[in-house]
């Protein structure tokens, strides 16, 4: 039998074929490209499983809407108890998670799909780690207490900072290598105490945050003297010995001021800066610096402001003439955009973010305040496009997402924000998709 087709049937067949071809093209596109611009790692203190581990929620950010969603198999165990801080390596291949109750730093390898793979665990030099900063050469860790026999919550002592050198991967596809902590020749131990001198030498200094400049020359630790009422805030500053081209034994003499020349001290050795510690209000809570290493900003939890400092040629901090700058109540975290002249402060009591523009001289000017979830305690900006901002909200177990205007610094809620995470989120870090910083990749 011979079949006949009328004109309308022919059009239907052609239409169906066109739809099939379009579907195949779309399917191929979906296989070869993605709208994921970043992976965001959110540490939560919630106990998970028999070992009471914290958890790491992994979100991907959609480049068009800013919408965040968890990747398959998320969350991942933090491999320790009470994770409180995070940082990523410069090559975006490692996530470092600080587990306070285990005195440990867990290094995860990061897969191309954003998934986490436990790789290495090291113990911190002191007791109860609370803050971390990473650059290409070193990992800086701040502990609540020095590793002294009598230091504990029952009998507190001052905190300390330690340095782990970072080396090249052990093999192809491996994460960076974490070396043995650097020795402080002044105490013959692997930490630098955060203490005052003179009549205040026995006061208990409580560290709160750490920041290493983009230049790598200086590292700063915020802290406050808890032995006086009201408390008194400080920024402890150190110059950092650069990587050496020769084998240098421990010891040596710190220069009188300024950055440490190469091949003088072992890589990562810290030298207290002249004039350190620098006055920093009442109770500093967070610290950040700009991409040029010219300015440093410190939030003051008790005074509800942000203190700005210029970094001098010796590393010394000088308060900006217009500092301090007003914030919301109980500012808990700060981030400075590395590509655009904006800074953002999370105000924990007000449950909002204050956005600032930054002048050529470093001064902050508020451009708006934007609501978040309850009690934001950490904040970050996507490292790929610098277009998305997020806060971790401790009391309602959520992540607030925003689209950032790169011309005005204002914020707009991302699609479907806020996003749920595990209980009591505490820390955040992020990498660009594909680890390149280029955004969407074919």
Indicate the range of 40-54, 83-97, 215-229, 418-432 predicted with least confidence: 40-54
Helix (H) or strand (E) segment spanning residue 19 = helix 7-32
Place of tokens 């919550």: 153
**Bridging pattern class, strands 388-393 and 411-413:** unpaired
Confidence (pLDDT) at 75: 94
Domain count, the chain: 1
Confidence (pLDDT) at 433: 86
List the beta bridge partners of residue 321. Answer: none
Structure tokens at 265: 């001290």
Does 392 fall in a domain? Answer: yes
Return the SS3 of 114.
Answer: coil
Confidence (pLDDT) at 6: 45
Confidence (pLDDT) at 154: 93
- Model confidence pLDDT, tens digit, residues 234-258: 999 999 999 987 778 777 889 988 8
Confidence (pLDDT) at 435: 58
Query: How far is it, in rounded angstroms, from Cα 193 to Cα 186?
Result: 10
CB atoms within 10 A of CB 413: 15
Does residue 295 register a pLDDT over 60?
yes
- Model confidence pLDDT, tens digit, residues 68-118: 999 999 999 999 999 999 999 999 999 999 999 999 999 999 998 999 999
List the beta bridge partners of residue 412. Answer: 403
Does 190 fall in a domain? Answer: no
Query: How far is it, in rounded angstroms, from Cα 254 to Cα 260?
Result: 7
The per-residue pLDDT of the chain, averaged, comes to 90
What's the average model confidence in pLDDT over 349-353? 98
Does 49 fall in a domain? Answer: yes
Residue 27, Cβ density class (10 Å: 0-12 exposed, 13-18 middle, ≥19 buried):
exposed
Does 241 fall in a domain? Answer: no
Return the SS3 of 435.
Answer: helix
Confidence (pLDDT) at 48: 63
Domain extent, residue 41, equals: 36-123+329-442
* pLDDT tier, 13 (very low <50, low <70, confident <90, very high otherwise): very low
List the beta bridge partners of residue 333. Answer: 346
Return the SS3 of 240.
Answer: strand
Does residue 264 register a pLDDT over 60?
yes
Dihedral of CA atoms 315, 317, 322, 327 in degrees, nearest 10, equals: 110
Query: How far is it, in rounded angstroms, from Cα 26 to Cα 195?
Result: 62
Does residue 119 register a pLDDT over 70?
yes
pTM: predicted TM-score of the whole model, two decimal places: 0.90
Does 160 fall in a domain? Answer: no
Confidence (pLDDT) at 245: 74
* pLDDT tier, 52 (very low <50, low <70, confident <90, very high otherwise): confident
* pLDDT tier, 33 (very low <50, low <70, confident <90, very high otherwise): low
Does 335 fall in a domain? Answer: yes
Query: How far is it, in rounded angstroms, from Cα 241 to Cα 271?
Result: 8
* pLDDT tier, 173 (very low <50, low <70, confident <90, very high otherwise): confident
Does 251 fall in a domain? Answer: no
- Model confidence pLDDT, tens digit, residues 181-231: 999 999 999 999 999 999 999 999 999 999 999 999 999 999 999 999 999
What's the average model confidence in pLDDT over 287-307? 97
List the beta bridge partners of residue 271. Answer: 239
Confidence (pLDDT) at 249: 76
Does residue 348 register a pLDDT over 70?
yes
- Model confidence pLDDT, tens digit, residues 364-400: 999 999 999 999 999 999 999 999 999 999 999 999 9
* pLDDT tier, 17 (very low <50, low <70, confident <90, very high otherwise): very low
Indicate the range of 44-58, 119-133, 293-307, 338-352 predicted with least confidence: 44-58
Confidence (pLDDT) at 231: 97
Query: How far is it, in rounded angstroms, from Cα 26 to Cα 196?
Result: 64
Confidence (pLDDT) at 248: 82
Q: Rg of the chain's alpha carbons, rounded to an integer?
A: 24
Place of tokens 């801080």: 85
Query: How far is it, in rounded angstroms, from Cα 144 to Cα 228?
Result: 18
Indicate the range of 128-137, 168-177, 307-316 predicted with least confidence: 168-177
Query: How far is it, in rounded angstroms, from Cα 279 to Cα 224?
Result: 10
Does 310 fall in a domain? Answer: no
Cα→Cα distances 396→45, 58, 135, 213, 378, Å: 13, 18, 32, 33, 14
The percentage of residues in the chain with a pLDDT greater than 70, rounded to a whole number, is 89
Helix (H) or strand (E) segment spanning residue 42 = strand 36-48
Does residue 356 register a pLDDT over 90?
yes
Q: Is the peptide bond before 324 cis (omega within 30 degrees of 0)?
A: yes
Torsional sign, CA 354, 92, 118, 132: negative
Residues 6+ apart with CB under 8 A from 320: 295, 308, 309, 310, 361, 362, 363
Query: How far is it, in rounded angstroms, from Cα 1 to Cα 316?
Result: 95
């Amino acid at each position: 039998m011979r079949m006949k087709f009328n004109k309308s049937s022919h059009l239907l067949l052609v239409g169906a074929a066109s739809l099939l071809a379009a579907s195949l093209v779309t399917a191929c596109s979906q296989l070869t490209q993605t709208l994921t611009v970043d992976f965001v790692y959110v540490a939560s203190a919630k106990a998970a499983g028999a070992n009471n581990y914290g958890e790491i929620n992994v979100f991907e950010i959609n480049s068009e809407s800013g919408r965040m969603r968890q990747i398959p198999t998320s969350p991942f165990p933090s491999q320790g108890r009470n994770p409180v801080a995070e940082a990523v390596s410069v090559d975006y291949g490692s996530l470092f998670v600080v587990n306070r109750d285990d005195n440990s730093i867990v290094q995860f390898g990061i897969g191309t799909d954003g998934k986490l793979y436990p790789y290495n665990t090291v113990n911190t030099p002191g007791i109860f780690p609370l803050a971390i900063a990473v650059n290409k050469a070193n990992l800086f860790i701040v502990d609540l207490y020095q590793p002294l026999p009598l230091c504990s919550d029952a009998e507190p002592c001052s905190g300390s900072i330690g340095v782990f050198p970072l080396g090249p991967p052990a093999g192809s596809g491996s994460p960076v290598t974490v070396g043995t902590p650097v020795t402080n020749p002044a105490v013959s131990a692997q930490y630098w105490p955060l203490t005052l001198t003179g009549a205040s030498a026995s006061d208990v200094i409580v560290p709160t945050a750490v920041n290493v400049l983009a230049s790598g020359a200086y590292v700063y630790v915020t802290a406050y003297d808890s032995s006086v009422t009201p408390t008194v805030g400080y920024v402890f500053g150190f110059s950092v010995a650069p990587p050496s081209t020769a084998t240098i034994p421990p010891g040596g003499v710190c220069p009188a001021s300024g950055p440490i020349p190469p091949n003088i001290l072992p890589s990562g050795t810290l030298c207290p800066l002249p004039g350190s510690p620098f006055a920093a209000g009442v109770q500093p809570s967070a610290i950040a610096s700009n991409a040029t290493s010219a300015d440093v900003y410190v939030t003051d939890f008790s005074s509800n402001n942000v203190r700005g400092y210029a970094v001098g040629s010796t590393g010394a901090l000088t308060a900006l003439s217009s500092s301090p700058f007003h914030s919301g109540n109980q500012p808990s975290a700060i981030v400075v955009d590395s590509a655009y002249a904006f800074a953002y402060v999370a105000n924990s009591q007000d449950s909002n973010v204050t956005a600032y523009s930054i002048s050529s001289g470093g001064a902050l000017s508020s451009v708006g305040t934007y609501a978040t979830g309850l009690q934001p305690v950490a904040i970050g900006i996507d490292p790929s496009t610098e277009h998305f901002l997020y806060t971790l909200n401790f009391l309602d177990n959520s992540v607030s997402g925003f689209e950032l205007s790169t011309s005005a610094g204002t914020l707009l809620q991302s699609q479907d924000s806020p996003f749920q995470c595990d209980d009591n989120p505490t820390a955040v870090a992020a990498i660009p998709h594909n680890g390149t910083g280029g955004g969407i990749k074919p």
